[in-house]
Amino acid sequence: MHIAPLPRHVAIIMDGNGRWARRRGLPRIEGHRQGAKSVRDVVRASRELGLPALTLYAFSSQNWARPIEEVQGLMMLLRDYVIEERDKIMDNGIRLTTAGTISRLPAFVVDPLQSLMNDAAGPRDMGLCLALSYGGRDSMVDAVRTLARQVAAGELADA
Ligand code: FPP
């Protein structure tokens, strides 16, 4: 049997949670809960297949504009994911990184996330990147701020 080579990197935009819930007459947060469950399945399957890198676009900077209860529910799902999956991420050689402005997330998410990122760092078997509070415009603003800081600190020439 011919097995096609795996891509080096798979990126998934998490979408359709609301539609999944609406079709079943369930509250939107149930769709997100199911989405978080799917994340667990996708990460496990990716690791088993030997995928080198997986990126999940989980929460865009526009998502902050959603109703407060939905944003809070999503933050709790994220925190639960980080706390409950810690051992699996550590034991399965997964390197955890993030993309996006994670400083915008509440401390109850950032603290366990940062701690897991510190522990699950360095060369490992699979890279898992969570894009959180991500957006093209935000990335550009962040990059320009970093450059401006480096110029001001004399680490980078301004010409
Ligand atoms: C899109 O669905 C999904 C989101 C806005 C959030 C996804 C994030 C989580 C489920 C939190 C847990 C994340 C991880 C990584 C464990 P939508 O509401 O836009 O659905 P629609 O496209 O049907 O409207």
Q: What is the DSSP letter of 59?
A: E
DSSP per residue, 70-88:
HHHHHHHHHHHHHHHHHHH
> 11: CA distance to ligand 1 center in Å?
15
Mind listing the pLDDT tens digit for each residue in 62-77?
A: 999 999 999 999 999 9
63 carries an active-site annotation: yes
CA-wise closest residue to 99 among 72, 53, 133: 133
Give, in order, the Cα–Cα distances in Å from 144 to each of 102, 104, 158. Answer: 17, 18, 12
pLDDT per residue as tens, the chain (159 positions): 566 789 999 999 999 999 999 999 999 999 999 999 999 999 999 999 999 999 999 999 999 999 999 999 999 999 999 999 999 999 999 999 999 999 999 999 999 999 999 999 999 999 999 999 999 887 788 889 999 999 999 998 876
pLDDT at residue 159, rounded to an integer: 65
Q: Which two tokens stand for residue 98?
A: 């993030």
Task: Work out which ligand 1 atom sits closest to the CA atom of 81.
Answer: 16
| Any atom of ligand 1 within 6 Å of the Cβ of 77 | yes
Q: Which two tokens stand for residue 104?
A: 């915008």
pLDDT at residue 143, rounded to an integer: 85
Task: Work out which ligand 1 atom sits closest to the CA atom of 130.
Answer: 15
pTM of the model: 0.88
87 carries an active-site annotation: no
pLDDT at residue 1, rounded to an integer: 59
| Any atom of ligand 1 within 6 Å of the Cβ of 16 | yes
Out of 63, 80, 92, 142, pick the active-site residue. Answer: 63
